[in-house]
Amino acid sequence: MPSTWRFSWDSLGWILIAAPLVGLVFAWIGHRVQADFAPLILFPILLGTAVGITIVGLIRFAQFGNRSAIFAAVVVAATTAPLGEHYFGYLSAYPGFQVAGSASSSDHSSLVRQVAPSFGAYLQAQAARGRPLWGDVVAHGVFAWVSWALDAALTVVAAILVTLPALRVPYCSRCGTWYRTTRNGKVDLTTGRRLAEICGIEDIASLHSPRYRLAVCQGGCGPMRCELSWEESSNAVSVARVWLTSEQRRQIAEVLDGLSEEFRPIDE
């Protein structure tokens, strides 16, 4: 059951408030951790993974189902994280200094106050100083900028890859909840073929190691979805997803309730 893809203030709040906050939290964590653990390539991937998992956890907790807004929020959070790392590094580099541009117009003690350079000037200075990559290899100038851009890209891609499977889960627009698995497990070949027959799944040449998964919305107002997967003779895994009618749902329940203990489904 598709979710709604319309604009809402909730969507704007996720993109402009929640996502940047998540990004800043992980930016601060990343800044602190990098002092002791900062493997090249791996670190931004881990950072993006953490951001993606956090966003998924938050949307499931809040039962927010606008996929376009969720995708945008993930991109914003994952972009904010690496950029925020540099900004926290900027603040740490000038403790006790007045950040450029933040002095009030009534403060004229310029001879006493120490003013830090702008954030942009700080980044330019860091690029000119060089970024150690591995061993004695140091990226200077434009190559330092490229390495930072690569970090940001890896963070965003990792966050998106973590989020995409969660976005494939159905969302019920009636009760406003994500679908959750109620029964799943491995079944024998005979039961697998029976489930395929009930669901109207045809053209199954060979069926090995069949598994099923039943999912419903938390309000129980939407149709049940049955996911049946099996291995083909070529070791390829095939998956079929079917929305069940009331009669199909009853028939599947009868089949599963009659299974032996070995193939008893897992109730969640």
Closest to 127 measured CA to CA, from 112, 147, 110, 107: 147
What span, in angstroms and rounded, lies between the C-alpha atoms of 164 and 70?
A: 10
Query: What is the distance between the alpha carbons of residues 71 and 163, in angstroms, rounded to a whole number?
Result: 8
pLDDT value for 100: 56
Tokens of 31: 């800044």
Q: Which residues pair with 76 in a beta bridge?
A: none
* Mean pLDDT within 34-43: 83
Q: SS3 helix, strand, coil % of the chain, rounded to 5?
A: 50, 20, 30
The H-or-E segment that residue 58 falls in is helix 42-62
- 262 has pLDDT over 60: no
Give the integer Cα–Cα distance in Å for 1 and 22. Answer: 29
Using the predicted structure, report yes or no on whether residue 69 has a pLDDT greater than 50. Answer: yes
Contacts of 116 (CB under 8 A, 6+ apart): 90, 93, 94, 97, 98, 99, 100, 122
Mean pLDDT, all residues of the chain = 85
pLDDT greater than 50 at residue 102: yes
Cα distances (angstroms) measured from residue 99 to each of 30, 94, 129: 22, 8, 21
